[in-house]
Structure 1
Amino acid sequence: MGLISLIKADVKFKQQWFLSQKSWFTRNVRVFLEPGTIAVIVYRYGSWARTIKPALLRIPLYIPYALGKVLVVLGFGIYIPSKAKIGPGFVIHNFSNIFISEGEIGGNCIVFQGVTTGHLREQPEPPKLGDNVFLGAGAKVLGSVKIGDNVVVGANSVVISDVPDNCTVMGNPARIISRETNWMAEKREGKKVVNY
């Protein structure tokens, strides 16, 4: 997908899940002024700029990214390296104290404030997250772990081992509390989804 297509997918996913009941202005204008959306757009631009060849063309394109990244890190407390591989539909809901490593994240991922994904000294590979992953406020995903599709990581949970598909995990260290999670389908069907 191209830069514009990825940004559209990110914004559409945020509008669908968090702003569907809001006013037209909030859904279509204010969404672009939210710190989480700005951080994702800056990341997308930086990730796209890395692909430009030859390198001489990349340098002038990287200058706006560097300035935007400084604004996002210092102003909003969100760090996402341009080397990270993140699928479409990436949403940062709220902001502050968010650190995303250079790992892989699938499509339709929601991140709340205080989330960290990163490697450990003993496990230098960053985590890999599947599609439809929900990371609650303060969640930590650490080490060379793999998180499957349709996974909910509860607030303040610390994930240090692999998580299979369709699970909800909570605690420190995180343990599976449900093996029948499909939070996206439940949300689409209008069922009340537990706030993690």
Structure 2
Amino acid sequence: MIHSKEDLRRYMEADRVMLEREGARPGPVDYVWKFERLLRRSEYWHNRPKTPLSLVWGKFLSLRLARMEARLGFSIPLNVFDSGLSIAHIGPIVVSPHARIGRNCRIHVGVNIGTRAGVPNEAPIIGDDVYIGPGAKLFGRIEIANRIAIGANAVVNKSFTEPGVSIAGVPAKKISEKGNPDYRDNDSK
């Protein structure tokens, strides 16, 4: 969670690296990077001690974030993703506010990370360095281990606790021993 300006800088730098952007500032049409920067600034102001300034500025940022989410098709609540978020494309992504997602998550269009039907607080807990392919659906009180790759259009309704594997299918099952790489060990980024 972002609690200080140093946390904010660290999160934004990790997001920039995962998005493979050259500069700290987004280009004029780099909407994903603009969104992620706004998301992180909104988290920072939301988590600050409540003062008149933080309440007003936080409300302003939350309104800007809501407008941008509507334009891009994202529904991503504050304080769900750890550092290193990488949204691959503009398009519908829906994430429950009860989900918890670790560092260096790569998420594609059409993904839904939700709760079990009728139980709003039973949402997935996803580890570090997880790749979530286009159209994947994850729901319920499940755990996804570190470095797992989730295939396109997979429906994940049970936990996968073995790290470094690939899962796919409806319902999802283990299909390979080769999962997602650990980006923190990659010196080329």
TM-score normalised by structure 2 residue count: 0.83
CA shift, 1:56, in A, is 3.1
How large is the Cα RMSD of the aligned pairs?
A: 2.4
* 1:144 partner SS: coil
In 2, are the aligned partners of 1:137 and 1:156 still within 8 Å (CA)? yes
Partner of 2:73: 77
Cross-structure match for 2:125: 128
**Aligned position for 1:38:** 34
**Normalised by the size of structure 1, how large is the TM-score?**
0.81
Q: Which structure carries more helix by proportion?
A: 1
Stretches of 4+ aligned residues off by more than 6 angstroms:
none
Equivalent AA in structure 2 for residue 4 of structure 1: R
Q: Secondary structure at the match of 1:87?
A: coil
Offset of residue 10 of structure 1: 0.3
Instruction: List alignment gaps of at least 5 residues for structure 1.
Output: 20-26, 191-196
Deviation of 1:39 after TM superposition, in Å, equals 2.2
Q: Which of 160, 165, 170 does residue 172 from structure 1 map onto?
A: 170
Structure 2: which 5+ residue stretches go unaligned? Answer: 1-5
For 1:31 and 1:184, the matched residues in 2 are separated by 28
* CA positional deviation for 1:4: 2.0
- Distance in 2 (alpha carbons) for counterparts of 1:3 and 1:71: 22
Q: Distance in 2 between matches of 1:8 and 1:32?
A: 19
Q: Aligned to 2:83, which of 84, 88, 100?
A: 88
Deviation, structure 1 residue 183:
3.3
Once the two structures are superposed, residues 43-78 of structure 1 have per-residue CA deviations (whole angstroms, 9 ceiling, x without a partner) of 212211121113533311212322222222221001
**Aligned amino acid, residue 157 of structure 1:** A
Cα distance change, pair 71–122 in 1 and its aligned pair in 2 (3 A): closer
1:104 aligns with 2:74: no
